[in-house]
Structure 1
Amino acid sequence: MLKVASDFALALTVTLGVLLIWRLNDQITYILWLFALPPAAFFTFGTRRASVALGLLLIALLLSPFVSPAAMSPETFSLSYFVRVIAAFFTLSLFSALGEYSRAHTQRTLVALTREMEQCACTDPLTGLLNRRGIYDRLNEERARATRSGSTFSVILCDVDHFKNVNDCFGHQCGDHVLHQLAEHFRRSVRGQDVVCRWGGEEFLFILPETDEQGALNLAEKLRSTVEQTPVNYHGMPIDITLSLGVQECTLTESPEFHIRVADQKLYIAKEHGRNKVVSGNIEELMPQELIA
């Protein structure tokens, strides 16, 4: 409907311009209204559509001496006046086009910068993964998608064991290198639709669409085993790393925040029982009732 209204307004603009050109030498005040059309057309219809409309008007202006009744009489037609009108109309149209192009370019740049800033605000600068701020939007999107499709999804909360020892023994640059390498490994290990997030510090969160707890458990065990068997290389020095992971299948009756909290409790159990473990299953059977949030 808006497109139809815009086309109708553009057609009226061209029609009005043709009528003004038709009365070119009848009264000078008629042609003055013609100069209001270029800036209004570019502002209203954009560069491409306004250029077409004003191009048609320029052609009509060039043809006006041959078809306009006011130009048929030598007494009313002035060639110098006609040339000045064409030059003024073309110049005004050109500057209006440049102004509209500049405005549109600035707007596109601002939109791109806004998107870039939003992405930076939701991205962890060290690993390039989503940060905690960005993950909640993805969790809510996944919950809405699962509600529509009637499917399920799972989350895995992962923590690097004894990460403080890495920083203390080898320095924070080594710790950053370990986190970056783990993030790359996690990205390569998951499916395209899965989401990996740096949850905070040395913790990572996985969102696994269309995955039940058993599928999430299989992935968690694969990650744990692979990391354990593959030391991180830091300037030729192997750094042994292990992971503790908590797995939780998300139901639609509870919020994503609740399921992350449960996954965190399972992660706590894994650490309490020696680390380098994956914990899943019913939290009520794994923890004392008073510790369950």
Structure 2
Amino acid sequence: MLYLVVTGGAEGTGPIWIFIVSPVTYSIRGLKRGTSDIFIFLLAIMLGFYCADMFNIYEYKPAQFPYRIVFSFIIVALLTGFYEQSREKYSNKIIALSQRNERLATIDPLTELPNRRHAMHKLSEFKKEHAYKGIPFVLLLADVDNFKKINDKYGHNFGDEALIHLANIFKKNIPQNAVASRWGGEEFLIAIPNVSVTEGVNVADKIHDSLKKAAVSLRTNTVNLTISIGVVQSEENRSIDLDIKHADQQLYKAKEQGKNRTCSA
């Protein structure tokens, strides 16, 4: 472009090509970098016109032609910049909306734990690692004891606070590579990769101990939650649904034996 400006191109029409620079630059470089690039380019073009005249390389006619080209380029660059600003603003809104929708699709809004859909996706990944790498995982299926009575006695707001409290207990007591999810209602599923059933039971015991030490409080009401937990280890040739079914059987056994306990297989 600078060469066309200095030499005039074909019959002085070379500078006309500079008008494609601003839309192309903004589309490639974005608003901030594009603006700085176009500013530098504009200075170079003005220098090119100056050199063409100073060193008699090319004589533009009329003499006002270079000024008109420069002012026209500035106007086109400004309009293109305003368009790019609007495009980026709209694009950022679309990205933010997409991220929000993605979060809503995978996170339970009350407890901020992964929801059932996301948990199944992670379980599929764990199952593949079990099949191809021989890395098993342990499932902990937990259910809040007497949750309906808590809701009926203290209200649904207290029940929601209890579930949030329980979710925070899970986050503090499970390994970093584990996934705790809200499975449905007052039921939660925790998947821990590369551990034994014994280690899974130890995690369950830590959760029980934490619930004993930390009560749920809302206004004047305070309750120590208890949960029943079923623990099983995945089997390579068993489906995820069957793994969960076996965990549910252990959970049912814990309920039958008096609740507030862990049963494992």
Rounded to whole Å, the distance in 2 between the matches of 1:144 and 1:79 is 74
The counterpart of 2:25, out of the listed 41, 58, 64, is 41
What is the 5 A alignment of 1:105-116? 105-116=89-100
Q: Greater relative contact order (Cα 8 A, min sep 6): structure 1 or 2?
A: 2
Q: Distance in 1 between matches of 2:114 and 2:59?
A: 76
Structure 1 residues 76 and 82: CA distance shift in structure 2, 3 A? closer
- The match for 1:82 is 66
**Residue deviations 1:6-48, cap 9 Å, x none?**
xxxxxxxxxxx23432343853543333212321332244346
Distance 2:239 2:179 in 1: 18
Letter of the aligned partner of 2:72 in structure 1? A
Equivalent-residue separation in structure 1 for 2:263 and 2:37 (angstroms): 68
Q: Which residue of 1 aligns with 2:88?
A: 104
> Which of 244, 251, 259 is 1:275 aligned to?
259
Question: 1:221 aligned to 2:200?
Answer: no
Please, what is the CA RMSD of the aligned residues?
A: 2.8
Q: Is the 8 A contact 1:25 1:71 kept in 2?
A: no
The one-letter amino acid paired with 1:176 is D
Counterparts of 1:267 and 1:149, CA distance in 2: 29
In the alignment, is residue 259 of structure 1 matched against residue 243 of structure 2? yes
CA contact (8 A) 1:129 1:183 kept: yes
Task: Report what 2:217 is aligned to.
Answer: 233
- Greater CA drift, 109-118 or 32-41: 32-41
Does 2:102 correspond to 1:118?
yes
1:208 equivalent in structure 2: 192
* 2:234 equivalent in structure 1: 250
Identical amino acids, percent of aligned pairs: 30
Distance 2:233 2:57 in 1: 88
171, 188, 195: which is aligned to 2:155? 171
Gap change, CA 1:236 and 1:56, over 3 Å in 2: closer
| Cα deviation digits, residues 237-260 of structure 1 (max 9, x gap) | 332432111101123333333311
Structure 1 residues 162-204: Cα deviation after superposition (integer angstroms, max 9, x where no partner): 1111112222222222212112222222232222111111111
Q: What TM-score, normalized to structure 1? A: 0.78
Instruction: Could you tell me which runs of 5 or more consecutive residues in structure 2 were left unpaired when the two chains were aligned.
Output: none
Task: Check 1:253–1:98 CA distance in 2 against 1; reply closer, same or farther (3 A cut).
Answer: farther
In the TM superposition, what whole-angstrom CA distance separates every residue of 1:88-123 from its partner, at most 9, and x where no partner exists?
A: 112222332332233233223311221122112222
Kindly tell me the number of residue pairs found equivalent between the two proteins: 265
TM-score (norm 2): 0.85
Instruction: Please identify, of 224-233 and 57-66, the stretch whose mean Cα deviation from structure 2 is larger.
Output: 224-233
- What is the distance in 2 between the residues matched to 1:232 and 1:208? 26
> How many Å separate the matches in 1 of 2:159 and 2:188?
15
Letter of the 1:195 partner, please give it: V
Query: C-alpha deviations, 1:56-76, integer Å up to 9, x for none?
Result: 542332122344389827964
Name the SS of the counterpart of 1:72 in structure 2.
Answer: coil
SS of 1:136 mapped into structure 2: helix
Tell me what 2:45 maps to: 61
Question: Which of 8, 13, 16 is the equivalent residue of 1:32?
Answer: 16
